């Protein structure tokens, strides 16, 4: 029996178009399962259908518009029940009524609590101009609490309202104590959560409701799913350049955004199907908020605006820069290599300058950042990147075929899939042997 596994990551700082590409791949390959293997409710994977329906997927797999697709939230996911309810409600409004019932949650998933979300936002406000670029969803607080105290609320416990109430009170007490000196930075609504504990009873009921509507599964069941599925797509969140180990500290996520978690899940399950490691890229680099962006455009207005990426919200300003070969090389090394690339936003090629960053200069010498899992070294690299000078070379942007050919030659990797717009119909599978795009 042979099956297929596609592991998908974003080779940038996020927002490369993973959701749209995964929706297409699931349709094209007939994927039975979409497995979320990192991150949590801070994901924002946009999928637009040809009939105009649009959804931003966060906790459901990005192929959920397909009625035969199911989502597995692996043990590496963090879930936020209220956000999940809101997401399911929006999907129901646009015709997907059973997203919850098609979602399987590993009992070991961490549950992000309201006090953790509030703590995340207060700390980010306190950083002022040195903000990290958080999404404000409490991911870092949840991960940190789990490591420091070892008694987190997990998905399997949502069935037991007494355990939920107890752990929510513990979370609240901890954050009240931790944030006492920053309490003036809390909003009125946040103070209400801190000062009025009646929300805990409501939360316990909500969590129990989530447990009843979704499928909470144990370790063996999760492994069996991975072993028996004939086509599984692993959907990464955020981007490799934001990885908790290899990202540019402190502008990172508390999540492993490379293939590490996906490979661990597959190895643990004993799944023996062939794996394809797919990296998604744009023809230029983007990021939200603070942090290094060496090739950032001084003039941002030439590239079309994106309704799904703007300057509002917690992550901060949406920034764009020229194609950065240095960062792509870095991301591929951090991943331990790839099998193929997927190229999105090809329709933006006419708006791009005909250049790509070939190397950086720092203090008069060539500078090539090297992945390290030592935070202090990555913090030093972050400071170096903020001072690095980009050096460019000519790069073809006149047509997609020339661009694809140049990418394949540069990285010795095939570009297997290409996206010329938001919908499935705008995606193409390429004959990567010749590098030609099918008409």
Q: What is the mean pLDDT of residues 274-278?
A: 92
- Looking at the structure, tell me whether residues 232 and 355 fall in a common domain: yes
Computed on alpha carbons and rounded to an integer, the radius of gyration of the chain in Å comes to 22
Closest CA to 326 of 295, 354, 300, 362: 295
202 in a domain, yes or no? yes
Rounded Cα gap, residues 287 and 252, in angstroms: 11
Query: In the block, which residue shows the tokens 């009939």?
Result: 51
Tell me the per-residue pLDDT of 99-123, one tens digit each, with 9 for 90 and over.
Answer: 999 999 999 999 999 999 888 888 8
- Looking at the structure, tell me whether residues 135 and 52 fall in a common domain: no
Q: Give residue 436's pLDDT.
A: 44
CB under 8 Å to 72, separation ≥6 — which residues?
33, 34, 35, 36, 61, 104, 106, 222, 225, 226
- Looking at the structure, tell me whether residues 231 and 212 fall in a common domain: no
**DSSP label at residue 43:** -
- Looking at the structure, tell me whether residues 160 and 201 fall in a common domain: yes
CATH at residue 35 = 3.40.440.10
- Looking at the structure, tell me whether residues 263 and 275 fall in a common domain: yes
Question: Average model confidence (pLDDT) for the chain?
Answer: 91
Tell me the per-residue pLDDT of 29-85, one tens digit each, with 9 for 90 and over.
Answer: 999 999 999 998 888 899 999 999 999 999 999 999 999 999 999 999 999 999 999
- Looking at the structure, tell me whether residues 245 and 387 fall in a common domain: yes
Closest CA to 330 of 338, 342, 322, 318: 338
Tell me the per-residue pLDDT of 288-301, one tens digit each, with 9 for 90 and over.
Answer: 888 999 999 987 66
439 in a domain, yes or no? no
Closest CA to 91 of 54, 120, 142, 127: 54
Is the pLDDT assigned to residue 318 strictly greater than 90? no
Q: Give residue 175's pLDDT.
A: 86
CATH at residue 209 = 1.10.300.10
Q: What is the mean pLDDT of residues 370-387?
A: 92
- Looking at the structure, tell me whether residues 85 and 123 fall in a common domain: no
Q: What is the mean pLDDT of residues 245-273?
A: 92
Final residue in a domain of this structure, among 216, 237, 262: 216
Rounded Cα gap, residues 85 and 72, in angstroms: 17
114 in a domain, yes or no? yes
- Looking at the structure, tell me whether residues 201 and 226 fall in a common domain: no
1, with CB counted inside 10 A (0-12, 13-18, 19+), is exposed
- Looking at the structure, tell me whether residues 240 and 385 fall in a common domain: yes
- Looking at the structure, tell me whether residues 275 and 203 fall in a common domain: no
434 in a domain, yes or no? no
Q: Which of 84-88, 147-151, 216-220, 306-310 has the lowest mean pLDDT?
A: 306-310
Rounded Cα gap, residues 422 and 23, in angstroms: 10
* Residues 201, 144 contacting (CB under 8 angstroms): no
Q: What is the mean pLDDT of residues 403-408?
A: 96
Express as a percent the part of the chain with pLDDT over 90: 71
Domain span holding position 89 = 4-105+218-429
Cis peptide leading into 250, omega within 30 of 0? yes
How far is C-alpha 408 from the geometric centre of its chain's CA atoms? 25
Q: What is the mean pLDDT of residues 393-406?
A: 95
* Residues 36, 262 contacting (CB under 8 angstroms): no
Is the pLDDT assigned to residue 310 strictly greater than 70? no
* Residues 71, 39 contacting (CB under 8 angstroms): no
Query: In the block, which residue shows the tokens 């797999």?
Result: 61
- Looking at the structure, tell me whether residues 149 and 226 fall in a common domain: no
435 in a domain, yes or no? no
Residue 130 or residue 410, greater confidence:
410
Other Cβ atoms within 10 Å of 246 Cβ, number: 26
284 in a domain, yes or no? yes
Query: In the block, which residue shows the tokens 């416990």?
Result: 157
Q: What is the mean pLDDT of residues 91-104?
A: 96
What's the Cα-to-Cα distance from 204 to each of 153, 165, 167, rounded to whole Å? Answer: 12, 6, 10
Final residue in a domain of this structure, among 194, 216, 238: 216
Tell me the per-residue pLDDT of 194-244, one tens digit each, with 9 for 90 and over.
Answer: 888 999 999 999 999 999 999 999 999 999 999 999 999 999 999 999 999
Q: Give residue 315's pLDDT.
A: 67
Q: Give residue 122's pLDDT.
A: 87
Closest CA to 343 of 405, 283, 259: 283
Domain count, the chain: 2
Final residue in a domain of this structure, among 152, 184, 216: 216
251 in a domain, yes or no? yes
Tell me the per-residue pLDDT of 6-30, one tens digit each, with 9 for 90 and over.
Answer: 999 999 999 999 999 999 999 999 9
75 in a domain, yes or no? yes
Rounded Cα gap, residues 229 and 265, in angstroms: 14
Closest CA to 297 of 264, 314, 320: 320
- Looking at the structure, tell me whether residues 399 and 273 fall in a common domain: yes
């Amino acid at each position: 029996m042979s099956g297929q596994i596609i592991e998908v990551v974003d080779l940038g700082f996020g927002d490369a178009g993973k959701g749209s590409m995964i929706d297409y791949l699931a349709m094209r390959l007939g994927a039975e399962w979409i497995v979320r293997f990192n991150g949590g409710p801070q994901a924002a994977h946009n999928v637009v259908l040809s009939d105009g329906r649009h959804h931003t997927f966060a906790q459901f797999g990005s192929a959920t518009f397909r009625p035969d697709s199911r989502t597995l939230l692996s043990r590496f996911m963090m879930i936020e029940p209220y956000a999940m309810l809101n997401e399911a409600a929006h999907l129901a409004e646009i015709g997907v009524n059973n997203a919850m019932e098609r979602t399987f949650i590993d009992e070991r998933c961490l549950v992000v609590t309201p006090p953790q979300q509030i703590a995340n936002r207060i700390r980010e406000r306190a950083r002022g101009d040195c903000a990290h670029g958080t999404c404000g969803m409490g991911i870092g607080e949840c991960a940190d609490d789990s490591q420091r105290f070892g008694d987190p609320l997990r998905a399997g416990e949502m069935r037991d309202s007494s355990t939920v109430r107890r752990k929510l009170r513990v979370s609240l007490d901890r954050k009240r104590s931790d944030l006492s000196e920053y309490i003036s930075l809390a909003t009125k609504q946040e103070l209400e959560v801190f000062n009025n504990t009646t929300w805990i009873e409501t939360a316990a009921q909500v969590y129990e409701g989530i447990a009843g509507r979704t499928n909470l599964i144990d370790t063996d069941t999760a492994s069996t799913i991975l072993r028996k599925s004939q086509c599984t797509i692993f959907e990464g969140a955020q981007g490799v350049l934001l990885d908790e180990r290899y990202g540019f500290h402190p502008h990172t996520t508390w999540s492993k955004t490379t293939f590490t978690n996906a490979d661990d899940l597959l190895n643990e399950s004993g799944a023996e199907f062939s794996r394809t490691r797919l990296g998604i890229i744009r023809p230029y680099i983007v990021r939200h908020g603070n942090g290094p962006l060496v090739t950032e455009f001084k003039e941002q207005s030439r590239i079309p605006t994106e309704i799904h990426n703007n300057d509002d919200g917690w992550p901060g300003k949406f920034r764009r820069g020229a194609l950065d070969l240095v960062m792509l090389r870095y991301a591929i090394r951090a991943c331990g290599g790839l099998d193929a690339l997927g190229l999105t936003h090809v329709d933006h090629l006419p708006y791009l300058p005909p250049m790509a960053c070939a190397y950086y200069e720092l203090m008069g010498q060539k500078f090539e950042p090297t992945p390290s899992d030592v935070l202090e070294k990555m913090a030093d690299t972050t400071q170096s990147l903020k001072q690095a000078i980009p050096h460019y070379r000519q790069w073809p942007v006149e047509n997609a075929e020339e661009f694809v050919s140049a990418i394949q030659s540069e990285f010795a990797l095939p570009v297997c899939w290409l996206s010329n717009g938001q919908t499935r119909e705008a995606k193409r599978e390429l004959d990567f042997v010749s590098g030609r795009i099918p008409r």
